[in-house]
Amino acid sequence: MSTNRTLRAVPTSATDTAKPRTETEEKLWQALRNNPGDTATALSTAAGIGKSTAPKILTRWEKDGLVTRATGITDGGSRPADRWSITTDDQPTDDQPTDDQPTDDRAGKPQRLAPGALRGMVEDYLRDNSGEFSPNAIGKALDRSSGAVHNALEKLVESGYAVRTSDKPKKYSLAATTAAATE
């Protein structure tokens, strides 16, 4: 007995639109990359931004699936501060399987990322590696599909974070303004 499945469009969330990070957000992201698992207060100090600003940005990024929060555990007195990290394959979200859960990747594919996480990985790759890269090259480096990487790169181009340097073959690099801001 066969059942027909109907495909339907999945609406994009309002937070899915790519936009360049502000200077404050860029400082916080760099502090988060350098200090995974730190508190919002420690991250704000490392980034040199306001202590009330960091939790607001981190909470928004958590909703976008870019970061994860490890809730502080109460041990008698006051509640310890939450700890923040960038979302990666090593830190599954609620909809991602853990190591002891079966996966449906019979071909050895990497686990599914949270929404927006691949775009963050591609941003980091462009920031950490100078030059022009094809979606295929970045996909191989990140162990991700070149099509998904291409989509992430196009969103980064729309937001002004990256530039397409060649149409045939398609190649991308970090935008000059972004490169100057991260130095």
What tokens does 107 get? 């071909």
Q: How does residue 125 score in pLDDT terms, banded at 50, 70 and 90?
A: very high
Quote the CA–CA distance of 9 and 97 in Å, as a whole number: 24
Quote the CA–CA distance of 18 and 28 in Å, as a whole number: 18
Domains of the chain listed by start with CATH number: 20-93 (1.10.10.10), 116-183 (1.10.10.10)
Quote the CA–CA distance of 24 and 81 in Å, as a whole number: 22
At residue 14, the pLDDT reads 45
What would the mean pLDDT of 119-147 be, rounded to a whole number?
Answer: 90
Read off the pTM.
0.44
Q: Is 58 helix (H, G, I), strand (E, B) or coil?
A: helix
Q: How far is CA 165 from the centre of its chain?
A: 23
At residue 11, the pLDDT reads 46
At residue 137, the pLDDT reads 92
User: What's the pLDDT tens digit per position in 81-116?
Assistant: 788 888 764 333 344 343 333 344 446 556 677 778
